[in-house]
Structure 1
Amino acid sequence: MSRIAYVNGRYLRHAEAAVHIEDRGYQFSDGVYEVCGIRNGRFMDEALHLERLERSLGELRIAMPLSLAALRHILREVVRRNRISNGLVYLQVTRGVAPRDHPFPASHVPPALVVTAKRLNEARIAAAVAKGVAVATMPDLRWARRDIKSVSLLPNILAKQAARDAGAYEAWLVDADGFVTEGSSTNAWIVDRDGRLVTRPASHAILNGVTRRVLLETAKAEGIEVIERPFTPQEAKSAREAFISASSAIIIPVVRIDGEPVGNAEPGSLTLRLREAYGRVGRLT
């Protein structure tokens, strides 16, 4: 079965889908995106993803391309046409097509919208959860507005590839003061020696992940104490547990950092408890 994509009002075969060469997303990374998980055919935390989409667009002064009702319909139609039961739906909004010039287009240009969907590699995720993964730390070289879910991800992909080259699953990015900000495509968490959950507070320094937000609710519901503060790589290496979070996999345990074991180098009990509890707090629509 051919994959189907939505591009600016049309449903097209994935192999034939394309945007204009002067789309500002292609020329300038002038756009934002969201990735929403699909579980058993239902959308995970869709309202939070669309809320963040509106915020990111507002920060860049890009108009919403459609009403929320129309956008929800398109998301569901793309998922339906691709027969996705467990997977991800990706949507990207850019400032649109205009002659290449750094300032915003002088005349009204409609925003461009692309939506795609794909299945998850559930076996790969299950293996990562069962065994845990390694992360490698490296300097955070990104721009100062990481709270905007921009399509400009060059520093992220360079960090991710550097981690893979080092034999690690993910990169943990470290700011100029020596504190972990987040992963190249995930949020970063540790469980300290007193069993408290620690993660960096939401600010311009990190993307306030939807899964991160739901996990904070989950921890509260489970009676787990949470401290939102920065932590160093050394503190993480000496922590009881560590993990990463993202919409694609919810939680993946971290068992090694820069080659050093975290705890007993096995997925931690609180980490796995949170992952299981997430399903009771996350909203399916």
Structure 2
Amino acid sequence: MIPGVQGDSQAYLNGDFLRIDEARISVLDRGFIFGDGIYEVVPVYHGKAFRMAEHLNRLDRSLAALRIASPHDRDGWVKLVNELLARNTQDTCIVYLQVTRGVAKRDHQFPAVPVPPTVFGMVSPWAPPSAAQRASGMTAISIPDERWLHCEIKSVSLLGNVLAKQQAVDAQVDEVVQFRDGFLTEGASTNVWVVSGGKLLAPPKNNLILEGIRYGLMGELAAEAGIPFESRRITREEVENADELLMSSATKEVLPLVALDGKPVGSGKPGPVYERLRAGYDARIAGL
């Protein structure tokens, strides 16, 4: 048995549906040896995938960046996700998809003869942020961003993010806020947003951050709520003096950061811009 995982849940591996505790890959899979692969995490509410098209668009971008041919077309991916959901019958959950370059002799270069990619999918239970988390907010510490320079790829090579997240755990906070050369990048597993003077600010979409699917959604929600939005480089000083800080991800949705490095952010409570964006987010979920 795998600790914390239901062994009888249904997974997908290279064309077959099987119990997750029966799924096996080769020790020569390049995802296992090199972290040579990509993944996606799609939240599901009431049995319906949220922002599926956007998630699959990013999956295609990540595959293209690694020069891995997509093993499915768009309809094929949707069919796979729907079949996983049907076989697992979980109302609110996340669908995890992973594609690696496949099994080959261990060699840093791509296999001389192309090999079939390894395709894996599973469904995991998931509880959206609680009312208490939304009302009280989250906490964070600031750390240097020491990850590689292709954070825009949703790669399974996540050691930098793992080490960053563990720093949050060790400090007994919820997340880290990372800075590179004095400018905001993102959290360990979230995008970070700054509210200053009623305006919503985000770091630019470039190789230094993963463009979260909520990045586009937050821009839409800000426009609908009449909140000015600007994407640009954000200094540490601006973060430290922010009226509000927010974080967003597939599993965290959007939540307020109310303390950074032990100091309150703004009033130390969820702010008005967060509340308006949160209301818009909830409306999108209700509209599925």
Q: Same fold (TM over 0.5)?
A: yes
**Is 2:207 the partner of 1:201?**
no
**Is 2:217 the partner of 1:211?**
no
Alpha carbons 2:45, 2:285 under 8 Å: kept: no
Query: Distance in 2 between the 1:72 and 1:203 partners?
Result: 28
Correspondent of 2:84 among 78, 81, 92: 78
Correspondent of 1:58 among 47, 64, 69: 64
Q: Secondary structure at the match of 1:273?
A: helix
Cα drift, residue 130 of structure 1: 1.8
Aligned residue in 1 for 2:122: 116
Query: Distance in 2 between the 1:161 and 1:188 partners?
Result: 18
Question: 1:106-155: per-residue Cα shift (whole Å, max 9, x none)?
Answer: 11211111101112134x54332221011111111111111111110001
**Is 2:115 the partner of 1:146?**
no
Query: Distance in 2 between the 1:253 and 1:18 partners?
Result: 40
Q: Which amino acid aligns with 1:35?
A: V
Please list every run of 5 or more consecutive structure 2 residues that lacks an aligned counterpart in the other structure: 1-5
Query: What are the residue-to-residue correspondences of 1:159-170 with 2, within 5 Å?
Result: 159-170=164-175
Q: Which amino acid aligns with 1:93?
A: V
Aligned residue in 2 for 1:6: 12
Aligned residue in 2 for 1:247: 250
Aligned residue in 2 for 1:272: 275
Q: Which amino acid aligns with 1:115?
A: G
Question: 1:15-64: per-residue Cα shift (whole Å, max 9, x none)?
Answer: 12121111100000100011111011111000011011111101110010
Alpha carbons 1:215, 1:274 under 8 Å: kept: yes
Please list every run of 5 or more consecutive structure 1 residues that lacks an aligned counterpart in the other structure: none
Q: Which amino acid aligns with 2:275?
A: L
Correspondent of 1:38 among 44, 47, 54: 44
Correspondent of 1:228 among 226, 231, 239: 231
Query: Distance in 2 between the 1:68 and 1:113 partners?
Result: 15
Alpha carbons 2:139, 2:173 under 8 Å: kept: yes
How many residue pairs align between the two structures?
Answer: 282
Q: Which amino acid aligns with 2:215?
A: R
